Structure 1
Amino acid sequence: MSLNLDSKKVVVAQVSETLGSAQTVVVAEYAGVTVESLTAIRREARKANVYLHVIKNTLARKAVEGTKFAPLAEKMTGQLIYGVSEDPVAAAKIINEFAKANDKVKIVAGMYNEKLLDTAGVKQLASIPSRDELLAQVMGVMQQIPASFVRLVAAIKDKKEQEAA
């Protein structure tokens, strides 16, 4: 279904607004992917706060004009799905997992930190632990430190008691 001019302007404005707060954009070809697969990846994207949509490339190019994601415009050809996230790695992780699960999905490009990324760059970005994963790791380490400290103090106490006896 074709969009009228007003609808196109609304889509461009919505995408531009989303890009305004985004840190990462990832673009992937999805030709031949089933509706069920797309529905599943969209569900996962929503959980991870990733804006994941199929947008006409001409509208996507207009939306990135004048933004830090403008260099992506040259990569916007073909049947594409766009992943946009405020989290630096979320969009890359979602689309990378989608590509691993479905051989018809091909990562085209991405942008993070004002740098254009190729397929390998997007995969490398996806391999970085997310903020939540890093916080969980730090909390795990912090929980181990007090336990280790208590065992150390108990061992010193036991040693001193043995020396005194």
Structure 2
Amino acid sequence: MSKAAIAEKEKFVDAFAEELKAAKAILIINYLGLTVEEVTNMRKELRENDVSMKVVKNTYLRRAAAKAGIEGLDETFVGPTAVIYTDNADDITEPARIVSKYEDDYDVIDIKGGMLEGKLTSKEEIKELAAIPGREGLLSMLVSVLQAPVRNFAYAVKAVADSKDESAE
């Protein structure tokens, strides 16, 4: 292999290591068996939610993970592997939610494991995380809870006003 090719691969590993180091959530999946259209749709949905997906050789993954200081994921770098990651600290659950949805829809996807905010996570933990509503859903639930007392008070005032109108007639 030429020195230029080796340098190019080393440059790729260094750049990918920096991306992994900045990532708040990393998921390792086996995607083999999806059609091109299904992978394209998943990538599009991931991209729309500020999440990246890369298919990288396992040897490069091991090297990038080691350079990024990520330990414990080596056993997931076996077979066909895609890395899904985000540096968006606002919603680290989004990658898990999207991948989990695709895993439910297509039996061929297999979540191997991952890392959330520097902690190793298992497939089961990722599935549990995917069940939690996203930031927008949680904010909507909060607004609904905060509006309930005001709404109930408004109904009570209206009921009193209606009863006074009926008694005045």
The TM tier, using the shorter chain, reads 0.7 to 0.9
Match of 1:152 in 2: 156
Q: Partner of 1:91 in structure 2?
A: 95
CA–CA separation in structure 1 for the residues paired with 2:5 and 2:136: 41
Q: How far apart in 2 are the matches of 1:76 and 1:25?
A: 13
Gaps of 5+ in 1: none
Identify the residue that residue 113 of structure 2 maps to in structure 1. 109
Alignment match of 1:128 (pick from 132, 135, 151): 132
Measured in 2, the distance between the counterparts of 1:149 and 1:8 equals 66
Unaligned regions of 5+ residues in structure 2, if any? none
Report how far residue 36 of structure 1 moved. Answer: 1.1
Relative to 1, partners in 2 of residues 1:162 and 1:31: Cα closer, same or farther, differing over 3 Å?
closer
SS in 1 for 2:26: strand
Which residues of 2 match residues 54-93 of structure 1 at below 5 A?
Answer: 54-67=55-68, 69-85=70-86, 86=88, 87-93=91-97
Q: CA RMSD in A?
A: 2.7
- Partners in 1 of 2:146 and 2:9 — Cα distance? 51
Aligned to 2:104: 100
Partners of 2:158 and 2:34 in 1: how far apart? 60
- SS for the counterpart of 2:113 is strand
TM-score (norm: length of structure 1) = 0.82
If the length of structure 2 is used for normalisation, what is the TM-score?
0.80
